[in-house]
Structure 1
């Protein structure tokens, strides 16, 4: 892998991770375009590490506040800490649902889902639901104070679908949260904070696949470049998406998903079996 390729992979991962356009699909497409296959999951762990560091640092104050409120409510039962206590509980519940069902789905579907046709179809489905939630569903007004267990279950189930290449994790959680009646600000906050245990968990599960030989074959400089690129562009993606959703529309992401699906289905060999996470 050249330094330029490492830079591009890092940029692709960072930009696509938190936008509702599927980072897995973009990494897969980038591999096919470069004719390069990652040696196991080792390099993907490095890419995801850049994203997880970015989201943790960006939301560090929110995370600290949430943790403090959680334990303060347990110890002192302050009423003002109750919403944050249950908000943290709902993050845990959605994560457990995603982790359990995601592992079952991944083992069941295996290699049959890693084809250009499947990825294109998944991108189109993501685009369809982005339009559906934007055009035909009234955005709710509920905040963290009005969240309930059903919201966590709905979002957790939706997030499970992101195990399918082409289905966006951020897109599925945003769509589900908005469908459940949460307002945009709460849906975005829930989606981003929920990404931390999910991305971290998937990276931890992939530790067994870490191969120092595979990483060495990529090169130390390339690994550093890809990590930094992933970190910086993940941070930019977080800032941009939050600002965009406060005044923009999800339909633009839907159009992008449709266009990318067309590119995938027309430019890539439909019989290809893609080695991706």
Structure 2
């Protein structure tokens, strides 16, 4: 892999990971453009870890508050610690649902759904869901202190849909969180914090694929550049999305999904994409 390709893969992964536009679809499309095939899942996992590092640093205070409050609640059952404790529980519940169902659906989904028409259809569904939540559903005002187990179950189920290529994980969790009546700020925060255990868990399950083979097939310089690129653009993506949602609408992401879906359906070769 060339340095330029490594940089672009990192840019695509970083920007699209947290936007409701499906990073998987964009990575597949980028592979098609370069005619490049990843050696297994190792490189994708590697890029995801760079994105997670950006999230953990950006939300470091929230993570510390939730973790310390979670354990302090066993000793000091103050209202503040109670909120952090249950918010941690809701993260665990949603993650457990996603992880469990994800393992069940993994073999069903596989590579067979990474076709241009399936990805285009999934992007269209993502766009329609964004329009629905924006135009036809009233935003809620509930924060983490008002959350329930039902909320975490619904968001966990929504996040599970992201195993389908073209369904955005961030989009699915954000839509599900808004659907149950959480405020926009709480929904965004919950969505970002949920990605940490999900991707770390996926990385642990696929740890055997991360090894010397990846370094020999891709090259150390390219791996370094792609990691740094992913981290930087993931950070920029987080900052931009949070600021964007304070002033603008999810409707624009829906339009983007529709445009990409049309381009994928019209211009991506089905025979070539199945080889990836």
Q: TM-score by structure 2 length?
A: 0.97
Say which SS state the counterpart of residue 182 (structure 1) adopts: coil
Identify which range, 171-180 or 240-249, moves more after superposition. 240-249
Partner of 1:189: 189
The equivalent residue for 2:223 is 223
Shift of 1:262: 0.4
In structure 1, C-alpha distance between the alignment counterparts of 2:60 and 2:219, rounded to whole Å = 31
* Number of equivalent positions: 276
**In the TM superposition, what is the alpha-carbon distance from 1:211 to its structure 2 partner?**
4.0
TM score, norm. by length of structure 1: 0.97
The match for 2:26 is 26
79-88 vs 159-168, which moves further: 79-88
Structure 1 residues 70, 37: closer, same or farther in 2, change over 3 A?
same
Partner SS for 1:236: helix
What does 1:1-277 correspond to in 2, within 5 Å?
1-274=1-274
Moved more, 238-247 or 267-276: 267-276
Distance 1:141 1:76 in 2: 28
Q: 1-side partners of 2:228 and 2:6: how far apart?
A: 10
Q: 1:162-198, CA deviations, whole angstroms, 9 ceiling, x for partnerless residues?
A: 0011000000000000000000010000000001001
C-alpha distance in structure 1 between counterparts of 2:3 and 2:273, whole Å: 26
Quote the offset at 1:111 in angstroms: 2.7
C-alpha displacement at 1:80, in angstroms?
A: 2.4
Are the aligned partners of 1:42 and 1:215 in contact in 2 as well (CA < 8 Å)? no
Residues in 2 aligned to 1:275 and 1:244: alpha-carbon distance in whole angstroms? 37
Q: For structure 2, which runs of at least 5 residues remain unmatched after alignment? A: none
Could you say what secondary structure the match of 1:20 adopts?
A: coil
Deviates more, 1:77-86 or 1:96-105: 77-86
Q: Is the 8 A contact 1:131 1:254 kept in 2?
A: yes
Which segment drifts farther, 108-117 or 4-13? 108-117
1:199-231 alpha-carbon deviations (Å, 9 max, x no partner): 111122221222412321211110000000000
Residues 128-150 of structure 1: CA distance to partner in whole angstroms, max 9, x if unpaired?
00000000000111111110000
Q: CA deviation at 1:267?
A: 0.3
Q: Considering only aligned residues, what root-mean-square deviation do their CA atoms show, in Å?
A: 1.1
Contact 2:14 2:234 in 1 (8 A): yes
Q: Which runs of 4 or more aligned residues in structure 1 lie more than 2 Å from their structure 2 counterparts after TM superposition?
A: 109-112, 270-276
Offset at residue 275 of structure 1 (A): 6.1
5+ residue gaps, structure 1, are none
